[in-house]
Chain A
Amino acid sequence: MSADIDKHAREVGDRTFKVRATNLSIDLFLGLFGLLMILPLVLLVANAFKTPQEMLSWPPTVIPARPTLANIEAVLADTPLLRWIFNSFSFALMSAVAILITSTIAGYILAKFPSRAMSVIFAIILATAIVPFEVYMIPLYFQAQSLGILNSVWGLLLGYLVMSFGIFLIRQNVIHSIPDELLEAARIDGAGEIWIFIRIVVPLLRGALGALFVLAFFQAWTAFAWPLIVATTKDSYTIEVGLALFQTGFTVDLGRLSAASAIVLVPSVTLFVFLRRNFVQGVAGTGLKE
């Protein structure tokens, strides 16, 4: 009898040991994989502080032996890097605000004021959502040209004023989190429609708006093809375009390139780590698209 219990205990012990060992190896694998994923970026940032000699050494050092700021100083002196960062930042910020405003209004109206016109509008928005930006950016370029806003932040903004997915996201959120009774009660109390929208609807959407803001900001911050054709003067480049053109030059050395990249990467990665929850929520929302 007691031998049986012993045997059972040993089996259970074996099993928990086995489970532990499996989990440990999974952790090890995932940890290694995660490190490998960020290794290129870590090495890039490390390169920014290396001397030209150290850059060539094998194996590559992760922490520079004799860190130097020469690369960063050189790149700040040679290129209007800060100007480009400022351009990107104001473009991304304005785009995020514009998308937030247009999506909130359209999403709320489409969700709470059903009529045949609204169904048609929503169908058109969904249909155009499938079309990638690259498909229609050439005609859009000529529209920007005829408005005379090429090479300015307004030209950049033209392509990023609305976001179909944003309208969809807000509409879903309004349907799920704002009951009709609440709006009716406010109306009976004599509240105007605009007051209801600003005082009741917008505060209730705070979570979704946060996710959408982060999503829209990063979308504009990492935009490439559109800024490349719209902003063609050195003063109007975004950081992506500026860097891409900078790296095709003749005399650029790796240290400076890495320095410029690091200056761009570090703040955006930091920002992302802080806003991770918002971002994940926003992207995960895209999975509900169908």
Chain B
Amino acid sequence: MLKRRRLLFSLLAILPVIAIFAFVRVYPISEILRLSLHKWDILSKKKPFIGLKNFQELLGDRLFHEALFNTSIIAFGVLLITIPLSLVISALIFHRTRSRFAAFYETAVFIPHVVSLVPAAMAWKWIFDARLGPLNAFLSLFGVQPMSWLFDPVLSIICVIVLCSWQALGFAVLIYLVGFKSLPVSVYEAAKLDGASGRQSFWHLSVPMLKPITLYVSVVTLVSAFNVYAQVYVLASDAQGAPGRQVRVLVLDMLENSFRNYRVGYAASEAVVLLAIVLLLTFVQFTLLRDKRAAR
């Protein structure tokens, strides 16, 4: 009797939350899967089922290829900068935990992660600006010719990578710091007694022991970089009326297909590709983690 009443209470209490959750998460996710198999152009009422035709078209879509390629380059570029740099920075901050300035280091590294995206991107846009930007002025001190960073196809991707890494770094450092704090002190003391230098303990103790954290941070960084949009929107959109070169990324291509070309079904199939990439990355993370646990 009492047990049943408690069950009833729990179901009644959680019901509204479940209803909201189903409406704003579960339903749209199932909808995106369904739409990807249909041809739906906003203007027409009919939504015929066309099987995998959308995905077949994606295979031959040059703009989609460009978007997929750029997004992957950006994601792995951010990963390559963020992981080594954050590992070193967090090791140094952890080493100086008792320093008076530790709070400053943490805050300074973390602030780019929390500030609004658009104003931050605006700051970088000015830095990269070909005529007025301090970057070209700085490089000219070394005799480097001014470059139009945001208008060159390769350079503009590098700019996006720099901006995204600048933002991703704080999160990675924070998670690594949590990791460093959880490492057993005794192992380091033993290593020190055996005459290991700080650098040696870093390479042979910290790096291997932090592997699960590295895996986690890598996947989170990659997944969020695959969803890059605002940074590209500000840095590489047609700014100031000039025909700036766009760096096409997945989310941009998807929104353009949906809201400019009115091809919702086709955009949905792009979203499914994005989802597949994210699931693959998560799957790889779990497999590697399990292998590691099994090996122990």
Q: What's the tally of chain A residues with a CB closer than 8 Å to chain B?
A: 92
The answer, yes or no, to whether A204 is at the interface (CB within 8 Å) is: no
Give the contacts of A204-256 with B (CB-CB under 8 A): 218, 221-222, 224-225, 228-229, 239-240, 243-244, 247-250, 252, 254
Q: Is the CB of B6 within 8 A of A193?
A: yes
The answer, yes or no, to whether B278 is at the interface (CB within 8 Å) is: yes
CB distance from B200 to the nearest CB of A (A): 14
Q: Is the CB of B96 within 8 A of A44?
A: no
The answer, yes or no, to whether B7 is at the interface (CB within 8 Å) is: yes
The answer, yes or no, to whether B201 is at the interface (CB within 8 Å) is: no
Per the bound structure, the CA–CA distance linking A234 and B9 in Å amounts to 45
| Residue in A47, A239, A249, A261 whose Cβ sees the most chain B Cβ within 10 Å | A261
Q: Is the CB of A37 within 8 A of B112?
A: yes
Instruction: List residues of chain A with CB within 8 A of the CB of B25.
Output: 128, 131, 136, 162, 164
Which one of A44, A60, A124, A228 lies within 8 Å of B122 (CB-CB)? A44
Instruction: List residues of chain A with CB within 8 A of the CB of B124.
Output: 40
Chain B contact surface mostly: helix
Q: Is the CB of B14 within 8 A of A284?
A: no
Per the bound structure, the CA–CA distance linking A133 and B123 in Å amounts to 26
9 extra interchain contacts, Cβ-Cβ under 8 A, other than A31-B101, A229-B255? A22-B198, A26-B96, A33-B105, A138-B32, A138-B255, A143-B23, A247-B122, A247-B125, A268-B115
Task: Please report B residues at the A interface, Cβ cutoff 8 Å.
Answer: 6-7, 9-11, 13-14, 16-18, 20-21, 23-29, 31-32, 35, 89, 92-93, 95-96, 99, 101, 104-112, 114-120, 122-127, 132, 134, 137, 166, 169, 171, 174-175, 177-179, 198, 212-213, 216, 220, 223-224, 226-227, 229-230, 233-234, 237-241, 251, 254-255, 258-259, 264, 267-268, 271-272, 274-275, 278-279, 282, 289
Task: Please report A residues at the B interface, Cβ cutoff 8 Å.
Answer: 22-23, 26-27, 29-31, 33-35, 37-38, 40-41, 43-44, 47, 55-56, 58-60, 102, 105-106, 109-110, 113, 115, 117-118, 121, 124-125, 128, 130-140, 142-143, 158-159, 161-162, 164, 193, 197, 218, 221-222, 224-225, 228-229, 239-240, 243-244, 247-250, 252, 254, 257-258, 260-262, 264-265, 268-269, 272-273, 276, 279-280, 283-284, 286-287, 289-290
